[in-house]
Each structure stands twice: as structure tokens, then as C-alpha cells.
Amino acid sequence: MARVSPEEFPDPINDSALADQPGQSRAVLAGGCFWCVEAVFEELDGVIDAVSGYAGGSKETANYDAVCTGATGHAEAVKIIYDPTKISYEKLLEVHFATHDPTTLTRQGNDTGPQYRSAIFYANDKEKELAQAFIDDLNASKHFSRPVVTTLEPLKAFYPAEAYHQNYACQNPHQPYISHIALPKVAKVREKYKELVKPQSPIPGQ
């Protein structure tokens, strides 16, 4: 599919524009390729939508070609819109840390560069406190064999990625990267968090 220019999307979504709608909250998380992160969170009951995009850099560099250079400050990130009466921010964090490696600074598998960093983009002090406490607990319990290096970064803006990146795993379940990298993460969620997942996976055949 032809790439779509960021100018075809609305202006960047800043914190005021991300104000929660009635019954909705949002979280912006990064943990490697956004195709995988989006696929994971689309599985969860209570998640209304998951949008692939860029966070951490400027509007001018919020496009895939620029972000792939690793020089923009952006991370491939996903904005998760969810119903907090069905799933909590803390539970989203739990699933996030269970489905990527938060102990590698700029690498997830074969994907290398700062655009693939593990990051939590917090919109307010409460999100920052919850995320820091979660990371502190993981480190104190030695849940991972190495320290968690996930960065906590203020959410200044979120830029939706090009149209062809959206719902990528759902639309391309047989694409090799999806079948070898994303789908095992989805399977892990459906096995480990059975009580949290939607009855039917959005990804065909899952």
C-alpha cells in the first residue's frame, strides 16, 4: 500500500486534545515495533481502540521514513483508548511489560535503534507515579534478570502513523514479521490473560 503523508492526518494530538471522553481514558506506550504493540492491546476487553503512531519528537519528523533513521527522538508508540471501568491503567502496564523486553535500551529482537525503545509516555503526574511504582516493584522483585530500562517521558504530543500502519496485524496476519513476531505475543496474551481478552481475537485465525 502506498505510504500516506502525515499532513493527511489531523494536527498532532496534544494533552488537552487527549482529554478523556466520558467513559474513556488513554495511555501511550512504546515497546518495539508498533505493529506488535497495537496487536497486543487490541486483544484486551475494555480497549476501545489502539492507534499506531509516533511520540517523543516533533511534528516535522513524525513520518516513517524519518523515524526509521533513529535521529528524530520519536519512538514507535501506540495510543490506547480504554474504558477504565473494564481495565485499569495498571493492568495495561502489566500486559505491556509481559509482552516486550523492558531491559534492552534501544532494541527489541532484531529491531534496533532508539525508535524501538521501551517507553511510557505519561500525560499527568498520576500516570507517572503509577508507572514509576510499577517499574520499582519489578526491579525490587528481580522479575527480570536485568534492570528495567523503560523510560518515563512526558507526553507532549502523539502523531498517528501513516494509514497503512494502522491495524496492520489484523489486516496482514500472514505477513512474515507478523506471523513470527507479533502473533506469538498475541498468543501469550490470550493464554496468560484469559480473563482480560475479548471473546474473539480481532486477528483472523487467532
Active site residue ranges: 33
Contact 76, 39 (CB under 8 A): no
Report the residue count for the chain: 206
Q: Residue 76: phi, psi to the nearest 5?
A: -70, 120
Among 171, 34, 164, 158, CA closest to 99: 34
What is the rounded (10 degree) CA torsion for 125, 45, 204, 162?
Answer: -30
Answer positive or negative: Cα dihedral of 180, 118, 61, 52.
positive
Beta-carbon contacts of residue 53 (< 8 Å; ≥ 6 apart): 34, 62, 77, 78, 79, 158, 159, 160, 161
How far apart, in whole angstroms, are the C-alpha atoms of residue 89 and residue 44?
Answer: 12
